[in-house]
Chain A
């Protein structure tokens, strides 16, 4: 038998159902694993061991009484530290929320607990989800290696971001499954770099209520799991209309596990667009991705070359709209009502500088926000300023409409698009953090999906051997709005005939 901690949701729920294991034992096994290796991986900011064991025992009791809540009842999950968890510190990996303990629960996590899931802890991320390497986190992670989350496949390399903690936790078996958020690739890119499955649902499929906002028109929460099947199970739980989120959709939720049984890609048309295979794409990555695409062909899909010229503008559009919304969403962190304030500063000299209300604002925000966060607040304030609004924000919105329209047109010809996820292999710490522009370019394959509101998944597609390490490469499948069923079905079928997703890193 596999180690308990390495189970998928599917495996664990079957073993829980048969009585072979208990949720308490499973949760203990996960914490033993965390104690053993999280000092190397550094996936968590906050661990909730006592709470988790209590939740697990409650789940076992429910099961004993025949009152099991769902397929994930008793399953230990990790939650990106961007979701508000009532009574459990929530930081967004920023100093400005250092001691912030929410008074309410996010809709996504509420749905998890109502389904019986067990909260292991809150995972690390780029500060306010701004970054692609988890390096912008302000936090020493819970098990304090050296304050950063590492890629389980090579501890000298970044895990991707911003949901780097969740991706590393799933890859290193520090949880059974995790939840992340994706604004421009923050689920898919770390999923790809850590060789796990990560799904960004259609905008509006999952409620944003209680999730700390980065860019409200782009943010979407989704599952980060060991298999596509697990992603379908979690999506069933977290989807749906929320009366507290006016942008959530009341479209009926299909049973996402149902269509996984189809297992035939005959009559499926998969588009491959040259725009995703151009300059900047590592040849080693390209080789793995092309190989995976030919696997789809073997499974019966028809590969169709397509062209998406507007995609070239997606990154520019994203880096105007996203900072604009960031600058607005982060205005509430002003040191007055909650979070860090200069008036509570540890440094007395700082505190004495605050003579006026404006000083309180400036100093609290100066101390609280990290460099990348400040950069985006400034960019966003600039593009929204009088005289610049039309040239930047308004124009970007128009191009966004064109990008959306182009995708819509392509999806009249093909069912899905297959693309790389990250143009490069996981890079080394510090390699890009000094150069924001090259960091922004690592999102170039994932970003176009968000302004268009589309669903997309990253699945493990293979490995490249480098420095005696196996470095993962993921494949992205993009579908039209509300096509999660098709995406999951295609991904699941791929995983039935490949075993990339089953490989585990040796953590040294």
Chain B
């Protein structure tokens, strides 16, 4: 057999789990409901009914586009795609033709499995042609020689992701789909993206070439599991290779089906010519400008972005457990940045602790007045202990008119139970009881400062100002 190169392109349909359908307010969770009970004039295609686009579905599609490195269209539009079929109520599907929401994306995968003589790169790139949004059709149920129509599913939002023909083997197709599924799942909420339940459906196109002549293109439709995609493509590839020499060499296209029970592929139809869908812009839906969305905000909600946030927090020495929770929570992260802008990088750990431990006070600052944010920043800067901070807030909440300084002076007066002399005595006591540690500290093990500080905090039971404790302890330890 000749050395034949395999070319595969995929079209993936992802059902979006929005609350309502794509163009009407019907419940989008119709699975398992009695036929034709989750329908309205719009998804039934009754005369006079008009579509109204679901913004949530558009937002998720744009978000997926961002996660897949796509260009987001400034202006996108919906088009009508015409064909007659009983599960298509209007005689056309509202889809997107030449101005989809996202184009030119890519998915990068590790290349270790597929390295060939001419590709030694560590990663391979599968380019994405486009991501568009459309409405699903209904379902036909064939029984007793009759065909029945159930339109519950009609109007479910479908996001279609189309790759370039960059996939070179059935295994690579499977790996790509698994990677894509993960990304789509990570774009929180978008879809359950489970292929087995039909939430993700896949059409695959495959052809072989020896470099000069091309085999027919075979399209496999409605594959609903990763395994089936790999198996069906493997079978079709074998068929194309076997018949490569005997086939007439004019460009043709065939549609094949896959029988998963017997693991067999079979010819469904030969396409004489491309169907003419008579696409034109849907006059019921004005063109859509992506500027209505804050793309930066959408981008900030992506997983990739979470990783960037995590890196920043770690660079600022925020301990791992705090960094993780703050990076994952947009409100906490925004609050962290706001506080950091006010009191600087020296207090990042204190800020993180404050947010993680007292999220009701520090975790949602964006809507706060400037004065309030300043106040909270000051509290962190002069932080004593968690219980003291809580006290300050309780005072502040009870006396909304009081300024930060007024409240702080009350707190300070309550804390004078431990004056400098008392603290001095406590420190001397601690040092005397731990001569070994003192020695090591003085010989350079400066991290033992924490050891002494811990003891001191325990003695004062959080009732003394830690800054003062810090200052006095350092003085005592350094003066020999």
Residue from the list A83, A209, A357 in contact with B50, Cβ < 8 A: A209
Q: B92, A331: Cβ atoms under 8 Å?
A: yes
Q: A97, B47: Cβ atoms under 8 Å?
A: yes
Q: A328, B48: Cβ atoms under 8 Å?
A: no
Q: B82, A213: Cβ atoms under 8 Å?
A: no
Give the shortest distance, in Å, between B148 (CB) and chain A (any CB). Answer: 11
Residue from the list A103, A334, A338 in contact with B84, Cβ < 8 A: A334
Q: B48, A325: Cβ atoms under 8 Å?
A: no
Give the shortest distance, in Å, between B341 (CB) and chain A (any CB). Answer: 39
Within B389-427, the residues touching A (CB, 8 Å) are: none
User: For the complex, what is the distance from the CA of A83 to the CA of B45, rounded to whole Å?
Assistant: 16
Contacts of A327 in B (CB 8 A): 278
B50, B53, B90, most chain A CB atoms within 10 A: B50
B285 interfacial contact with A, CB 8 Å: yes
A397 nearest in chain B by CB position = B281
Contacts of B53 in A (CB 8 A): 246
Q: B51, A246: Cβ atoms under 8 Å?
A: yes
Q: B46, A338: Cβ atoms under 8 Å?
A: yes
A90, A209, A332, A338, most chain B CB atoms within 10 A: A332
Say yes or no: A210-B48 contact (C-beta < 8 A), given A216-B283, A336-B149. Answer: yes
User: For the complex, what is the distance from the CA of A393 to the CA of B278, rounded to whole Å?
Assistant: 11
Q: A102, B46: Cβ atoms under 8 Å?
A: yes
Chain B: interface secondary structure? loop
User: For the complex, what is the distance from the CA of A338 to the CA of B48, rounded to whole Å?
Assistant: 13
Give the shortest distance, in Å, between A90 (CB) and chain B (any CB). Answer: 8
User: For the complex, what is the distance from the CA of A305 to the CA of B460, rounded to whole Å?
Assistant: 95
Within B228-286, the residues touching A (CB, 8 Å) are: 274, 276, 278-280, 283-286
Say yes or no: A217-B276 contact (C-beta < 8 A), given A102-B46, A209-B49, A246-B52. Answer: no
Contacts of A262 in B (CB 8 A): none
User: For the complex, what is the distance from the CA of A216 to the CA of B80, rounded to whole Å?
Assistant: 13
Within A318-353, the residues touching B (CB, 8 Å) are: 324-325, 327-328, 330-334, 336-338
Q: B285, A246: Cβ atoms under 8 Å?
A: yes
Contacts of B84 in A (CB 8 A): 331, 334, 358, 361
Residue from the list B52, B86, B90, B285 in contact with A243, Cβ < 8 A: B52
Q: How many residues of chain B have a CB within 8 Å of chain A? A: 29
Give the shortest distance, in Å, between B297 (CB) and chain A (any CB). Answer: 24
Within B44-62, the residues touching A (CB, 8 Å) are: 44-53
A427 interfacial contact with B, CB 8 Å: no
User: For the complex, what is the distance from the CA of A213 to the CA of B80, rounded to whole Å?
Assistant: 15
Contacts of A212 in B (CB 8 A): 47-48
User: For the complex, what is the distance from the CA of A84 to the CA of B41, rounded to whole Å?
Assistant: 11
Q: B280, A393: Cβ atoms under 8 Å?
A: yes
Query: Could you give 23 example pairs across A and B, Cβ below 8 Å?
Result: A84-B46, A84-B48, A90-B47, A97-B47, A100-B47, A102-B46, A103-B41, A103-B46, A209-B50, A210-B48, A244-B50, A244-B52, A246-B286, A247-B284, A328-B91, A328-B280, A332-B45, A332-B89, A332-B91, A334-B91, A337-B44, A357-B86, A384-B278
The 4 closest A-B pairs by CB, nearest first: A331-B91, A384-B278, A217-B283, A216-B283
> Which A residues are within 8 Å of any B CB, using their own CB?
83-84, 90, 92, 97, 100, 102-104, 106, 208-213, 215-217, 243-247, 324-325, 327-328, 330-334, 336-338, 357-358, 361, 381, 384-386, 389, 393
